[in-house]
A = this chain, B = another copy of it.
Amino acid sequence: MNDLSDIPSVMHEIGRRARAASERLATAPAEAKRRALEAAADRLEAQVAEVQEANERDVAFGTDKGLSPAMLDRLRLDADRIAGIAASLRAVAAQEDPVGATCAEWEQPSGLRIRRVRTPIGVIGVIYESRPNVTADAGALCLKSGNAVILRGGSESFHTSSAIHACLVAGLAEAGLPEDAIQLVPTRDRAAVSEMLKMTEFIDVIVPRGGKGLVGLVQQEARVPVFAHLEGIVHVYLDAAADPVKALDVVLNAKTRRTGICGAAECLLIHRDALDTIGQGVVRALIDAGVEVRGDRDLQAIAGVTAAEADDWGREYLDSIIAARVVDDLDAAIAHVRQYGSGHTDCIVTEDNAAADRFFTELDSAILMRNASTQFADGAEFGMGAEIGIATGKLHARGPVGAEQLTSFKYIVEGDGTVRP
């Protein structure tokens, strides 16, 4: 490795190695990739103490630096969380290998047999804040999909990420795969991020994971394509035909289970006909659960509801706050989501199939739900083992991005001396 202060040259070398590794990875047997991930999980479980020690150094650094309690919580790893990371590695290992799978197959009148077969994309760059688990999840998903990955974790999680990365590299070595398949940028210098964003020669896709500041910067500056979402302005709409129990369960879980994740509900829309029968009870339950409800004029009649300002619509709180509003009908609910949503996840609570169909058809969020908590907006809950992120763009990847969406495809065409007239 070059002198760490010469960032462009350090990053160029990392990029070159990643590209070389990706060429070997593209034809790596599924079994080797599976074995590497299992071995990495074994290693991680054997090194809980070392990882915790590294994590303590990071937490101390983060505390000194004045990180918010929420960020410190995300950074902190106890034995349970480390076990969770290892489980996630095993879950990705157990997934079907996407590379080489035939996703479509047909025959043409000319006699040609055509197959569309999955291939890796190449090299993925992941830029994340201080969530050490991303090191393992992103590394595992990229390996599974035959892509090399360049990981650039937050400076506050540097030691923890390095310790987890060492386990991944040990797994690669044990399975005979190139160690450059999963590289961690070895410097905290922010210039490395700027460098990654323009490395079109070496990086095919960038996935940013973190707050609006980080994602916005990446989306704005990247010359490499980006899979990301800027915000999760998640709506739950209680329809006139909502079931009262489901409404209560779904809204409470969607808002309160964890308030800091992108699938947490940020705005509640209530059909006027359901206001007295269901809406009031749901709003009161939220207040009882400690949630600040910022309501429109109709809802301010309920004790404890504060007045919503204009800028509460379309706002991502990531906190124990929810905006709430009464709408006259399904059309008004759809119009509100279109205007204020971020295309991440939106939910309707209804027993009316026609209403659900319209909600699903007329809205175009990455994830549309019915009678289910929006906190399910997550790759593991979608059955992907883990996720590298959630995308709201419409090209290539959308919604939770797992190994399958980190692949491209090629056409295999077979004839028998077939020529075109």
Contacts and interface: CB of A to CB of B under 8 A. Distances in A.
A16 interface: no
B112 A372 contact: yes
B415 A369 contact: yes
A108 B114 CA distance: 32
A373 B420 contact: yes
Given A204-B394, A376-B420, A381 B108 contact: yes
Contacts of A360: 117, 412
Contacts of A70: none
Given A119-B364, A366-B410, A246 B416 contact: yes
Given A365-B410, A395-B205, A419 B373 contact: yes
A270 interface: no
Interface in A359-388: 360-362, 364-373, 375-376, 381-383
A80 to B, nearest CB: 15
A381 B107 CA distance: 10
Given A395-B204, A418-B371, A418-B373, A110 B381 contact: yes
Contact of A410 (B26, B108, B356, B399): B399
Contacts of A257: 419-420
20 contacts: A100-B361, A108-B381, A110-B376, A121-B395, A245-B417, A250-B418, A253-B419, A366-B410, A367-B411, A368-B412, A370-B412, A370-B414, A371-B415, A372-B413, A372-B419, A373-B419, A382-B411, A398-B409, A398-B410, A398-B411
Given A26-B364, A108-B382, A368-B410, 16 more contacts: A114-B383, A121-B394, A121-B395, A205-B395, A249-B419, A250-B419, A365-B410, A367-B410, A367-B411, A369-B414, A371-B415, A371-B416, A375-B419, A381-B420, A382-B411, A394-B408
